[in-house]
Amino acid sequence: MGSFEDPVMAAIEAHRASHARYRDALSAAETAPGAASRSELDRLHAAVDAAAWALLEVRPVSPEGLMALATYAGDVVAAGNEWPAGWDQRFYAVIVRWPDD
């Protein structure tokens, strides 16, 4: 089964899109005060966190999917972002237990 068929790919794309919406709103708020309200930014940030946890609820079904998840997780951190508190411990458990989880 190729990575294009792995359900984790959709979860990665959902997180990427959610994070992009938050990043764009934050950038707009920084350059144009009032562009996004604090409650809107909080809502978008909560959506990013929810999408992060959802990444770990979708079990990769292929080695390519597992590698895509691991690579994406590292890329997020390398770009200067953080995962929600406790996410990394659950991530490691998903990686170590694959494919038996």
Q: What is the pLDDT of residues 30-78, one digit of tens each?
A: 888 777 788 999 999 999 999 999 999 999 999 999 999 999 999 999 9
Total count of domains within the chain: 1
Rounded Cα gap, residues 14 and 36, in angstroms: 21
Cα–Cα nearest to 98, from 6, 4, 10, 17: 6
Structural domain range at position 74: 3-97
Q: Is 70 exceeded by the pLDDT of residue 4? A: no
